[in-house]
Amino acid sequence: MMEDFSGKTAVITGAASGIGLELAKIFAEQGMNVVLADIEQQRLDEAVAEVAALGVEAIGVVTDVGAGESVAALCKASVDHFGSVQVLCNNAGVYTGGQLWEQTEDDFEWLMRVNQWGIIHGIRHFVPQMIKQSDDCHIVNTSSMASMCTLPFAGIYHMTKHAALALSECLFHELSMMAPQISVSCLCPELVNTGIATSARNRPDELADQNPTEMHAMSMAAITDATANSLHPRALAERVLAAIRNKTFYILPPQDNPWMVTAASRLEDLKLRRNPTFAPPAI
């Protein structure tokens, strides 16, 4: 169990804004060294300055989490600068919506590259380093409450987040058996006021959305409206800090949260072997 954070090192992807930035700040408040990774150079520079102003050493590493060599370079830069890494937050994520049969291969590729491969690369490059260190470490993979339910017009996002949760559960089991000094959590946020509705700003040119459909536009307008007045990302950072302290795997909303009700409906569908219930959260 990690109780003393001071002097230890945290690496966060997607750290230039939203949940990632709040994670960086809350770790800094505990006296940790912080490595902020993001694909946006200007925002990353601003975030590093904001975190460093809290009185800790912080560095920024421009990182494309969908590229294994980029995440390998992030791991090397972190260890070269600070000597070790005790906390890894595979947090970067993107979103697009629409009807599954209208969405393009590039839509699938983009979300899978960031939401799935970002975690895969983080595991492949940081876990061996953490095992080598032999000290108490913790990995936090950001999934979503979308991993615990299914809703229309966000199918690719749901798919990638289900994969993120399953991968995290498997990692939990494997590390429990092979390297129990490394704990794992999976962060499953409800709607949060982040920049995910505008994540297409970082979509690679080779995967650009050339012909957006009407349903895509409607779904993006919906997620923009839904996140605008939703939970502040600081609340998620506080949940993560508590989970690391208590070695809690599932980082979930409060039990009475509408997303928990929706997730429970899906579990009931499975239990009763009934067809999927359309039970969107009452938000």
Domain ranges of the chain: 9-252
Identify the band that residue 2 occupies on the pLDDT scale cut at 50, 70 and 90.
confident
95 is catalytic: no
pLDDT given for residue 209 in this prediction: 87
Helix (H, G, I), strand (E, B) or coil at 17: coil
Amino acid at 217: A
Residue pair 140/89 in contact by the 8 Å Cβ criterion: yes
Average pLDDT (250-256) is 97
The mean pLDDT of 58-81, rounded to a whole number, is: 98
User: Which of 82, 157, 172, 259 is flagged as catalytic?
Assistant: 157
* pLDDT of 248 higher than 80: yes
Helix residue ranges, H only, the chain: 18-29, 41-52, 68-82, 105-111, 117-133, 155-178, 214-228, 233-246, 258-272
Mean pLDDT of the chain: 96
What pLDDT score was predicted for residue 211? 80
Q: How far is CA 237 from CA 32, 63, 96, in A?
A: 14, 21, 24
HSE (side-chain half, CA atoms, 13 Å) at 205: 0
- pTM of this structure: 0.97
For β-strands 87-90 and 58-62, DSSP reports them as unpaired
Query: Is the pLDDT at 48 greater than 80, yes or no?
Result: yes
* C-alpha triplet 105, 228, 201: angle, nearest 5°: 40
DSSP designation for 131: H
Q: Quote the CATH superfamily of domain 9-252.
A: NAD(P)-binding Rossmann-like Domain (3.40.50.720)
Helix, strand, coil percentages (3-state) for the chain, rounded to 5, are: 55, 15, 35
The kind and range of the H/E element at 62 are strand 58-62
Helix axes 18-29, 41-52, angle to 10 degrees: 20
pLDDT at 14 over 80: yes
Position 179 scores a pLDDT of 98
Non-local CB neighbours of 219 within 8 Å, separated by 6+ positions:
97, 98, 153, 154
